[in-house]
């Protein structure tokens, strides 16, 4: 099986030399020089893999709602190439992989992105609102690796830290925004898949957001001999003090924000509302909500006293894509329950997108301008 898998991957490298169809273009998420996968102007995609000895090859979408269904059966040509044109996909980034006789195989033509707890192929489908998350001719910040030794786990950990334009030439202290990824992803996701750095660059240049530091850490942490995720403990005991002693941040409640997508949204709602002395801005993107949410009992009673909560928290904000039915309904019901209880909570809907990165890019683009005003 291993020999067969390697053969598929090696043969697949010849994708770059296959003839391109019609008005399609190579996806921007491809490895350099690769002609496949390709994207049509209407959002359809062409996938191709050379696997002459395979009996069945399919394209599996990580989020079928975003890519128009699947798995998609590919057709084998006389040249040993398997090809399929998939239906119109929602604009944005989508994880995918090949199923070659039932075996998960990454596309040699695609770059890989950490998702589903492994390196996974991905395709970028262009859309009409792409400019906000793409690099523009504006001053750019930097994303740096920040390594620190966790006292909680005893292991070295890495955070990715966005420093706004002008950080290195300034002596100013900046507000800090802690931004968490989703399940099966890691601290790279918000910049590689989410383009968070470009989103912030563009907002800051347009004076729609204040310059801020953004910390993106790994949402998984375990102690020796245990499988329990102790991220909340690591966050409070390790991440906060490490960031605040390394970077020029304004280390007070009024200048701290926390948000996350999916699992990261749930972690945010577990940590921030019960530590109101630390966070004035709280956001949950496609996570941290429930149709049975009760403000009187949720989060250890953090929302029970609406007046006290509103006095400390300047912003509580939820969002979801209109096509991610479960998360949308959860966020809608939770926001309504909070408002009914007297908690000031905002709600944003990303129209037409599902549980996928374009939903969260849009959420960040809407959320960041509300911070530290």
| pLDDT tens profile 111-142 | 999 999 999 999 999 999 999 999 999 999 99
Closest by CA position to 49, among listed 73, 65, 28? 73
Clarify whether residues 314 and 192 are in a common domain: yes
The CATH number of residue 79's host domain is: 2.60.40.10
Domains of the chain: total: 2
Q: Tokens for 358? A: 């374009």
- Alpha-carbon distance of 370 to 237, in angstroms, equals 27
Query: How is residue 237 annotated by DSSP?
Result: I
Q: Which of 80, 101, 126 is the last residue of a domain?
A: 126
Residue 208's Cβ-side half-sphere holds a number of Cα atoms within 13 Å equal to 13
Q: Which of 100, 126, 152 is the last residue of a domain?
A: 126
Give the residue ranges of the chain where pLDDT is below 50: 1-20
Clarify whether residues 153 and 23 are in a common domain: no
The pLDDT score that the predictor gives to residue 22 is 83
Clarify whether residues 61 and 209 are in a common domain: no
Clarify whether residues 88 and 152 are in a common domain: no
For 32, the domain range is: 2-126
Clarify whether residues 95 and 152 are in a common domain: no
> Is residue 72 within 8 Å of 105, Cβ to Cβ?
no
Clarify whether residues 199 and 261 are in a common domain: yes
> Is residue 57 within 8 Å of 49, Cβ to Cβ?
yes
Q: Which of 78, 101, 126 is the last residue of a domain?
A: 126
SS3 148: strand
Query: How is residue 318 annotated by DSSP?
Result: E
- Alpha-carbon distance of 354 to 315, in angstroms, equals 24
State the residue for tokens 């079928």.
Answer: 64
Q: Tokens for 28? A: 């921007």
Q: Tokens for 173? A: 């202290």
- Alpha-carbon distance of 259 to 131, in angstroms, equals 23
Taking the mean position of all CA atoms in its chain, how far away is CA 325?
18
Please report, for residues 35, 147, 323, the alpha-carbon distance to residue 329 in angstroms, rounded to integers and kept in the order given.
Answer: 40, 38, 10
Clarify whether residues 191 and 251 are in a common domain: yes
Q: Tokens for 117? A: 């707890």
Clarify whether residues 108 and 218 are in a common domain: no
The pLDDT score that the predictor gives to residue 38 is 98
Clarify whether residues 20 and 106 are in a common domain: yes
The pLDDT score that the predictor gives to residue 48 is 98
| pLDDT tens profile 99-110 | 999 999 999 999
Query: How is residue 235 annotated by DSSP?
Result: I
Closest by CA position to 24, among listed 99, 78, 83? 83
Closest by CA position to 365, among listed 350, 344, 346, 345? 350
Clarify whether residues 92 and 175 are in a common domain: no
- Alpha-carbon distance of 357 to 192, in angstroms, equals 11
Burial class from Cβ neighbours inside 10 Å (0-12, 13-18, 19+) for residue 265 reads buried
Clarify whether residues 140 and 95 are in a common domain: no
Q: Tokens for 59? A: 């394209």
Alpha helices (runs of H) in 115-239, residue ranges in sequence order: 189-192, 196-205, 231-234
The pLDDT score that the predictor gives to residue 21 is 55
SS3 72: strand
State the residue for tokens 């409640």.
Answer: 253
> Is residue 23 within 8 Å of 99, Cβ to Cβ?
no
Clarify whether residues 114 and 179 are in a common domain: no
> Is residue 108 within 8 Å of 13, Cβ to Cβ?
yes
């Amino acid at each position: 099986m291993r020999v067969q898998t390697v053969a598929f991957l090696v043969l697949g490298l010849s994708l770059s030399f296959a003839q391109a169809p019609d008005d399609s273009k190579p996806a921007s998420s491809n490895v350099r020089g690769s002609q496949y996968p390709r994207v049509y102007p209407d959002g359809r995609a062409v996938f191709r893999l050379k696997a002459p000895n395979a009996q069945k090859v399919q394209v599996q979408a990580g989020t079928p709602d975003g890519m128009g269904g699947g798995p998609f059966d590919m057709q084998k040509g006389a040249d040993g190439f398997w090809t399929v044109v998939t239906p119109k996909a929602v604009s944005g980034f989508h994880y995918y992989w090949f199923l070659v006789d039932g075996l998960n195989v990454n596309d040699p033509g695609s770059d890989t992105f950490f998702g589903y707890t492994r390196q996974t192929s991905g395709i970028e489908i262009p859309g009409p609102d792409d400019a906000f998350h793409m690099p523009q001719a504006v001053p750019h910040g930097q994303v740096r690796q920040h390594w620190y030794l966790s006292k909680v786990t005893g292991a070295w950990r890495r955070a990715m830290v966005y420093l706004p334009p002008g950080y290195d030439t300034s002596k100013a202290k900046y507000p800090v925004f802690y931004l968490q990824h989703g399940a099966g992803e890691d601290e790279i996701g918000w910049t590689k898949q989410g383009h968070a750095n470009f989103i912030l660059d563009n907002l800051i240049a347009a004076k729609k957001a204040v310059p801020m530091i953004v910390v993106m850490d790994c949402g998984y942490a375990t102690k020796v001999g245990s499988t329990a995720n102790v991220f909340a403990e690591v966050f409070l005991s390790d991440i906060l003090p490490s960031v605040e002693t390394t970077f020029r941040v304004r280390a007070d409640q009024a200048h701290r924000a926390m948000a996350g997508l999916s699992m990261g949204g749930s972690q945010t709602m577990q940590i921030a509302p019960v530590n109101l002395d630390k966070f004035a801005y709280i956001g949950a993107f496609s996570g941290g909500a429930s149709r049975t949410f009760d403000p009187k009992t949720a989060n250890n009673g953090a929302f029970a006293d609406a007046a006290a909560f509103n006095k400390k928290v300047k912003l509580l904000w939820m969002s979801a894509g209109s096509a991610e039915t479960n998360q949308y309904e959860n966020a809608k019901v939770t926001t309504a329950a909070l408002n009914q209880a007297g908690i000031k909570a905002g709600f944003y809907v990303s129209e037409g997108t599902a549980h996928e990165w374009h939903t969260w890019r849009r959420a960040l683009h809407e959320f960041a301008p509300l911070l530290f005003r």
